[in-house]
Structure 1
Amino acid sequence: MNRLTFFLLAALMLCALSLVSAQHQARTLFVAHERAQAEEKQLDIDWSRLQYQQSSLGKSARIADAARTQLKMTPVLPGRTQYLAGVVLDAPPASAPAAAAPEGSKP
């Protein structure tokens, strides 16, 4: 009877330690899961903000304003346009002559 009691006590202690270890691991995983969810929410917020910035920076009115103010660019005027004379572009190659008449046909 003494051996059975000792064996049951040892089994009870192992089960209790296993339970404590499993609960600790579950809590650790829960905390990591909560942190990952918080990071996901922050990344979603950052993504939305970046999409908004990209759409606002890509508007043509903003680009034109930045070109005039920051880069000191002016619109193209026909009177200020300079054309280069003497520049000749190569003509595309002539198309191949019509295909020869098929054999066996008489002219």
Structure 2
Amino acid sequence: MNRLAFFLLVALMLCALSLVGAQHQARTLFVALERAQSEEKQLDVDWSRLQYQQSALSKSARIADAARSQLQMSPVTPGRTQYLSGIVLAPASGVAAAPASSAEGRP
């Protein structure tokens, strides 16, 4: 009877330690899951912000402002435009015509 009680006591202790270890592992995994979900939410917010910024940066008015302010570009005026004459477009069959050697509007 004494050996049986000792064996049951050892089995009970091993089961209790196993239960404590399992609960600790479950809590650790739960904390990791919460952190991963929090990171997912943050990445989703960042993705939405980046999509908004991309749409704002791709607007033509913003591009025109950047061209004027940062690149010192100006719109084309008819006085600065050079028109070429004598260029004949190739017919649809693919035969190319020789371009003219003179150009109008050159200084």
TM-score for both structures, normalised by structure 2 = 0.78
Structure 1: runs of 5 or more not aligned? 95-107
Q: Partner of 1:74 in structure 2?
A: 74
Q: What is the CA distance between 1:72 and its match in structure 2?
A: 0.9
Structure 2: runs of 5 or more not aligned? 95-107
Residue pairs, 1:1-107, within 5 angstroms: 1-93=1-93
Distance (whole Å) between structure 1 residues aligned to residue 70 and residue 24 of structure 2: 59
Q: Partner of 2:103 in structure 1?
A: none
Q: What is the CA distance between 1:20 and its match in structure 2?
A: 0.6
The number of equivalent residue pairs is 94
1:43-80 deviation line (CA, Å, top 9, x unaligned):
11211211111111111111111111111111112221
Q: What is the CA distance between 1:90 and its match in structure 2?
A: 3.3
4+ aligned runs moved over 2 Å, structure 1: 83-92
Higher Cα radius of gyration: 1
Q: What is the CA distance between 1:84 and its match in structure 2?
A: 3.0
Distance (whole Å) between structure 2 residues aligned to residue 52 and residue 26 of structure 1: 39
Q: State, as a whole percentage, how many aligned pairs show the same letter.
A: 80
Q: What is the CA distance between 1:13 and its match in structure 2?
A: 1.0
RMSD: 1.7
TM-score for both structures, normalised by structure 1 = 0.78
Q: What is the CA distance between 1:32 and its match in structure 2?
A: 0.2
Distance (whole Å) between structure 1 residues aligned to residue 15 and residue 88 of structure 2: 92
